[in-house]
Structure 1
Amino acid sequence: MKLKGITDVFFDLDHTLWDFDKNSALTFEKIFKINNVNINVNDFLTHYIYINLKYWKLYREDKIEKKALRFCRLNDTFKAVGFHVDDDLIYKLSEDYIIYLTSYNHLIENTSEILDYLSSNYKLHIITNGFDEVQQGKLEKSKIDKYFKTVTNSELAGAKKPNPIIFEYALNKAGAKIESSIMIGDSYEADITGALNFGMEAIFFDINTVTLNTNIKRVTNLLDLKDYL
């Protein structure tokens, strides 16, 4: 059913529009080669994906700082694989990862098509917990920055999703009203619960089909947003 009265659509970036998993994997291949780290990338990623999610949760909850997130997610993964890397190299890899991450800019399937479709009728925006120095580069190099009127990241807002402060910051920056805005994202906790608790409409991009809650608006393909917007 089409939603009425929506003027402003807020998107998450990583895992929603920008294909973080694919781009991250390619980045690790590159920086391991640069730094002569002879490890099986697939073995590394098998552990890294879950360890990274764990540390991002701690970061969202303000339990660790950015520097710790960047170091610990790599350190823990190398330990899990049983591959010894000294601290200096881990710090070097963590810096190289940020430098080269936007060398690859694969998008989630149908991203450009849905942005083309929505941009003719709505003002589009980004709300992301990602780092300030990286997120704008992702938007520009993947050539989707042209669609968005505003970009809010957690470092600028001083708070991370699901904290209501970042949603309020984003709406104020966009000049949007809460009753005519909607949030779309892949994180049930950060994007959907955060927006709904703030009093904002939300659509869960359930890309991994993990949710059992049938009371929320949900899509598994970005083009399915046309059912609502």
Structure 2
Amino acid sequence: MKKTYRHIFFDLDHTLWDFESNALQTLKDIYSSLRLCEFGIEDFERFHQQYILHNDKLWERYRNGFIKVDELRWKRMWHTLLDFKIGDEKLARRMGDEFLNLLPTRTILFPHTNEILDYLQRNGYSLHLITNGFEATQHNKLKYSNIDGFFSKVITSEGSNSLKPHREIFEYAFKITGANASDSIMIGDNIEVDINGARNAGMDQVFVNHISDQPDQNATYTVYSLLELKEIF
């Protein structure tokens, strides 16, 4: 017998909004507009891979409270430039600003995103977001992707002063939505951040395994496509 849920909390990046594809297009534009080739970065693919490496490391440090938001925003570019022996802080900060200006305007969503959000909304579920992203950036992603109308509340790490997987951001989400852990479920792609975080807050979870990675045996549900959510709700 299926459990009855009232509130569905989605992660945004890597779950609904295709961060990798959108970031790639944004970095290509920055590489071209700022003429990074003239600075000695002749291999865009290497530049892209080094950015991913540093971005992931710095996001982990940010989640664990070791660095502030501003450091994350420009130092991922700074460390990438250093890999090419370019010690130009001004350029790194400009790249960071350009990235945050352009990225939220990208509109690539995972397949069936609109279909499943419409399905869930029509079936009476209250839809919300819990995201570790920045307030203005995440709201702009939703607006430009034309999915902002599906969500009653958008809880960001910046707005809640907490981060997934910490329990505080989930408790904040319950407070402003009027939800309870018992009638809520979290849908996300990151086992540590989304799945374990929600479990520790007392919520059921859906692991969205877009990349067909090793499934989390402890997740309440696992899906490999957003369309499979219709089998749960």
Inter-partner Cα distance in structure 2 for 1:49 and 1:118: 33
1:197 matched to 2:200? The reply is: yes
Inter-partner Cα distance in structure 2 for 1:213 and 1:178: 20
Inter-partner Cα distance in structure 1 for 2:216 and 2:144: 36
Q: Match for residue 4 of structure 1?
A: 3
Q: Which runs of 4+ in 1 moved over 4 A?
A: none
Q: Match for residue 50 of structure 1?
A: 53
1:26 matched to 2:25? The reply is: yes
Inter-partner Cα distance in structure 2 for 1:54 and 1:89: 21
**CA offset at residue 205 of structure 1?**
0.8
**CA offset at residue 5 of structure 1?**
1.6
**CA offset at residue 140 of structure 1?**
0.6
Q: Match for residue 183 of structure 1?
A: 186
**CA offset at residue 85 of structure 1?**
4.9
Could you tell me whether the CA contact under 8 Å between 2:77 and 2:96 is conserved in 1?
Answer: yes
1:84 matched to 2:98? The reply is: no
Letter in 2 for 1:221: S
1:15 matched to 2:18? The reply is: no
Could you tell me whether the CA contact under 8 Å between 2:187 and 2:207 is conserved in 1?
Answer: yes
**CA offset at residue 94 of structure 1?**
0.3
Aligned CA-pair RMSD: 1.4
Q: Note the 1:143-162 alignment, pairs <5 A.
A: 143-162=146-165
Deviations 1:74-98 (A, max 9, x none): 1222233x25251101001101111
The TM-score with structure 2 as length reference comes to: 0.93
Cα distance change on mapping 1:93 and 1:204 into 2, 3 Å = same
Deviations 1:39-63 (A, max 9, x none): 3332211222232111111111111
Structure 2: gaps spanning 5 or more residues:
none
Moved more, 28-37 or 205-214: 205-214
SS at match of 2:186: strand
Cα distance change on mapping 1:137 and 1:206 into 2, 3 Å = same
Sequence identity, in percent? 39
Inter-partner Cα distance in structure 1 for 2:132 and 2:25: 22
Inter-partner Cα distance in structure 1 for 2:16 and 2:60: 20
The TM-score with structure 1 as length reference comes to: 0.94
